[in-house]
Structure 1
Amino acid sequence: MEYNELKNTSAIWIPEIPKHWDLIKVRHLFKESSIKGFPNEPLLVASQKHGVVNKDVYGQRTMEATKDFHNLKLVEKGDFVISLRSFQGGIEYAHQRGIISPAYTILKELKPINKRYFKHLFKSKPFISLMTLCVKGIRDGQNIDFPTFKGEFLPVPPIEEQEAIGAYLDKKTKKIKEFIKKKKRLIELLEEEKRGIVNIAISRGDNPNVKLIDTGIEWLGKVPSHWSVKKIKYITTLIADGTHQTPVYTENGYPFLRITDINGDKINWDEVRYISEKEHKSLTKTRKGRKGDILLSKNGTIGKVIEVTWDEEFSFFVSLCLIRFKKSILPKYFSYFFKSDIVFDQLNEGSKTTSVTNLHLEKIKELRIAYPEITEQEKICKYLDIECGKVDVAISKAKLEIEKANEYQESLITQVVTGQLKVPTLKQENVLS
């Protein structure tokens, strides 16, 4: 439902608001608070996703601003906090009392407001566009210049309408978040299903009645009796590191591939950087890739595998390695092998941790792979292409639904907090429900 009458404003980021709304400068709505000297209060962090929360329960590594807790600013529950990332994600709402970095700006209201309305307004897309105009400095993590920001205008509905908007958006966004949570769980289950399909095919083939023999290897167990089990180093002709040097990028030249250029089983060529011919030649004297080679990510995010399907020469960073197999192994078969639990069971063998973030060449060479003859590898790959393809379709559908839900939420918040869409009053909401 739309408002009956709108009026133009002098604010660039919000050209129209309902006629009965006010447009008020930040300085008349909020004041800066800089209370210090409370070292025993809980240490808080500002998160774009979670708001201002306790550092101990945040669940991610964060940087402590200082060890002198006397200099940290006091935050009360319900305060708003301008963080070093507010120009990217808006102003954060404080969910509890505590102390926070002196680099942040604490805002307290000067007049009665409904904080739920402003919590949504401060995370809306148009408001974030306003914040980008209020930054100072050029370093990563730019500060919002508060003297500039407090001269900007904010849309302010009547307090009853603020309450209605806050309650309406809380209810709607809760439902959207629950929907997204379910879809993310579905994706996790689908990924598990796909991994299970790959695990069985890579260790058993596609014949459920095949004769199995015990390999004597705990993490591998039984494999078809006619399969071979060998270390990677015995079935390859080349396993090479990428360069440790960060080259000078050019507009054109030879592709310089990094982990971030791999998207699924493809290279995202739109994001690829290039280097000069001279630098390329100096980097690839012993590492020239060719069709059929495999690029494997081995640092940071390990396990990304891509087959070289193009003719153009390229260089690659140390986070990737190049593997060239003998004719006994299909590159695609190896790609599926590396998506199986067989690989990660080997990598984690004897380790107290459950994840590996760096994979050295010597470790890669020692990995064991179970495999049949080429014709059966082709058959297994075709089977996996079909079965994994079905699961991938379902995953893509779920991801698209999440994307559309996020877009809907962003659009809904924008329309409601800027007065483009009218919501029922709390009395109307109670009658309708």
Structure 2
Amino acid sequence: MSKLQPYDNYQPVQYDYISQLPHDWKLLPNMAIFRERIERGHENEELLSVTIGRGIIKQSELEKKDSSTLDKSKYLLVYPGDLVYSMRFRQGASGYSIHKGIVSPACTVLKPKREIEINPRFFFFMFRTGFYKNYVERFAYGIADGQIPLRYVDFKRMYTIVPPLETQNAIVAYLDRKTKQIQDFIAKKQRLIELLEEQKKSITFNLLTKGIDNVNSEPVKDSWLQEKPVHWKVHRGKSMFKIFGGFAPSDLRILNESEYSQLNAISYYKVDDLNNVDGFLLKPSSWRVNSKKLRTTGKGTILLPKRGAAIMTNKVTQCSDSCVFDSNIMGIKVDNSIVHTDYICLWLKTRNLIELADVTTIPQLNNKHIYPLLISLPDLEEQKRILEYLQEKTNHLGRSVSIAMSEIEKAKEYQESLITQVVTGQLKVPMSELRLEGLLDDRIGINTY
């Protein structure tokens, strides 16, 4: 199919987020398009969730949660064809429902008005665009649990672009098709990354437990190690490193801008920063520790999560400089007369930390899990050879992961740009897209990313 082109004729529009629209498009207040659906008392209906990224899904598709104790009497009824957004609208929590069910009263349910012909999925695409989510901030109020809620009484005063129904249908058919292609591409790249990481982990495990040279092995009384080269020695964690904890939030206070320079480049790590594929996200510190409790790590201190789901990520990193970190993180200082810090850091990344933790309501990892660990080690010279050999063997895997991640980001940016340009009338979707109209009913709601 040829590249999309702009429309032939535009009309000027005096509004904040748009300066022109195709000549037969309208800009209407939301109260002219939607009504708020407030129907309660349907506790036995399917429980639905409004997610960021996946739209509206059944609660059963998420991690299993016990909802038997929830008071559902105030939950809102949702019908297929409704649009729903939550107080996390600004973060992308909105969607088109293909299910009948109930959602949290923290959500707003929108049903299309019968007086105007619309394709609700067009507005699903509109609401997920960055410009519309930014637009929401002007009408949202207050702060609730860190979120900015948008009440219907304010939402209805907002304006939304409304093309002719035939154009809406063509846009929906086109974006359903294109976003599916993009999501399929992203899924393949994500699977590639998983395979590359598994391969890297396998190579690392073999080198850290068997070494480079093919030498005789002997059994070890440890279910994870199983065996080791005969000339390697087995050490307990307690003999190789010292563990210390981070600071509680009460020990920290926010600095204003004038005090920032007094930090002397001390950096702050926290558990919320575990979204960086290479480890913890390093942030310039905006905190100061109470001077009586001021303790900072030294360069090379190993940090790993010690509480919650973050343990499952196996995010282990080293401080590149002195830093402070919060109480959800464990610091490990290594005895470098026995082992290289890089060696232990890789060893911890390879080990499945969640298997060591106390798993109750919230997984916990502490000294009693790390100190007893058995680690088989060669001498320092052989450790260095293993690290160098490992880098040589896995460099290309790391480059491939970086390329795949870059391609995923570009695909997401392209998808966002494409949706925005199409729903705002910057690019024209040809009516030939309606040849897929026979498939449209089956496709509606499937791609609620």
> Shared fold (TM-score greater than 0.5)?
yes
RMSD over aligned Cα atoms: 2.9
2:15 counterpart of 1:2: no
Match of 1:396 among 402, 426, 442: 402
Taking a change above 3 Å as real, the CA distance of residues 220 and 65 of structure 1, as seen in their structure-2 partners, is closer
**Alignment partners' CA distance in 2, 1:95 and 1:5:** 35
2:80 counterpart of 1:77: yes
Report what 1:375 is aligned to.
381
Taking a change above 3 Å as real, the CA distance of residues 221 and 146 of structure 1, as seen in their structure-2 partners, is same
Shift of 1:62: 9.3
Taking a change above 3 Å as real, the CA distance of residues 90 and 235 of structure 1, as seen in their structure-2 partners, is closer
Report what 2:303 is aligned to.
295
Q: How does 1:340-419 map to 2 (within 5 A)?
A: 340-341=350-351, 344=353, 347=356, 357-419=363-425
2:18 counterpart of 1:14: yes
SS at the partner of 2:77? strand
Q: How many residues align?
A: 417
Report what 2:29 is aligned to.
25
Report what 1:117 is aligned to.
122
Report what 1:275 is aligned to.
288
Query: Can you give the 5+ residue segments of structure 2 that lack an aligned partner in the other structure?
Result: 437-449
After TM superposition, the score normalised by the length of structure 1 is: 0.87
2:242 counterpart of 1:234: no
Q: How does 1:9-408 map to 2 (within 5 A)?
A: 9-59=13-63, 67-69=71-73, 71-89=74-92, 91-110=94-113, 111-139=116-144, 140-207=146-213, 209-236=214-241, 238-244=242-248, 246=250, 247-250=252-255, 251=260, 252-253=262-263, 254-260=266-272, 263=276, 268-275=281-288, 279-284=290-295, 289-300=297-308, 301-302=310-311, 303-310=314-321, 312=322, 314-318=323-327, 319-341=329-351, 344=353, 347=356, 357-408=363-414
Q: Is the 8 A contact 2:269 2:283 kept in 1?
A: no
**Alignment partners' CA distance in 1, 2:285 and 2:291:** 14
Which residue identity lines up with residue 119 of structure 1 in the other structure? F
Taking a change above 3 Å as real, the CA distance of residues 307 and 163 of structure 1, as seen in their structure-2 partners, is closer
Shift of 1:326: 4.4
Query: Can you give the 5+ residue segments of structure 1 that lack an aligned partner in the other structure?
Result: none
Q: Is the 8 A contact 1:261 1:271 kept in 2?
A: no
Taking a change above 3 Å as real, the CA distance of residues 380 and 280 of structure 1, as seen in their structure-2 partners, is farther
SS at the partner of 2:27? strand
Taking a change above 3 Å as real, the CA distance of residues 292 and 400 of structure 1, as seen in their structure-2 partners, is closer
Taking a change above 3 Å as real, the CA distance of residues 64 and 2 of structure 1, as seen in their structure-2 partners, is farther
Which residue identity lines up with residue 106 of structure 1 in the other structure? V
Shift of 1:298: 2.5
SS at the partner of 2:287? strand
**Alignment partners' CA distance in 1, 2:243 and 2:42:** 57
More off after superposition, 238-247 vs 252-261: 252-261
Which residue identity lines up with residue 297 of structure 1 in the other structure? P
SS at the partner of 2:128? coil
SS at the partner of 2:371? helix
Shift of 1:156: 1.4
After TM superposition, the score normalised by the length of structure 2 is: 0.84
Q: Is the 8 A contact 1:124 1:414 kept in 2?
A: yes
Shift of 1:315: 3.4
Q: Deviations over 1:76-121 (max 9, x none)?
A: 1001123211233264211211222334322121222122222211
**Alignment partners' CA distance in 2, 1:190 and 1:127:** 37
